[in-house]
Amino acid sequence: MLGRQPGTLLDVRLVDIHGAQFFDLSFVLDAAPEQPRTSRIGRESVYPDPQPGDAVMLHLVLGQITRVEKNR
């Protein structure tokens, strides 16, 4: 999986690991709403104040999220 995929955030948790901040995200892709997924991504790669229910654009490389943008 490569490129951009629209989806929806299901759960957002801020995690601090030795001073580095990450988000643990649960989400579904619009193309596969029956398959919830999870991923951990650096806080700097996510828009400010992500919330469950937000419509997002997920940037993926080899199935891993590299950036999350909020759909307007």
Tell me which of 62 and 24 has the higher pLDDT: 24
What is the value of pTM for the model shown?
A: 0.91
Query: How distant is the alpha carbon of residue 66 from its chain centre?
Result: 9
How many other CB atoms sit within 10 Å of the CB of residue 65? 22
Is the CATH code 2.40.50 the one for domain 2-70?
Answer: yes
Tell me which of 63 and 23 has the higher pLDDT: 23
- pLDDT at residue 58 above 70? yes
Mean pLDDT of the chain: 94
| Per-residue model confidence as pLDDT tens digits over 36-54 | 999 999 999 999 999 999 9
Number of H helices, E strands in the chain: 0, 5
Q: What pLDDT sits at residue 1? A: 55
Q: What pLDDT sits at residue 59? A: 95
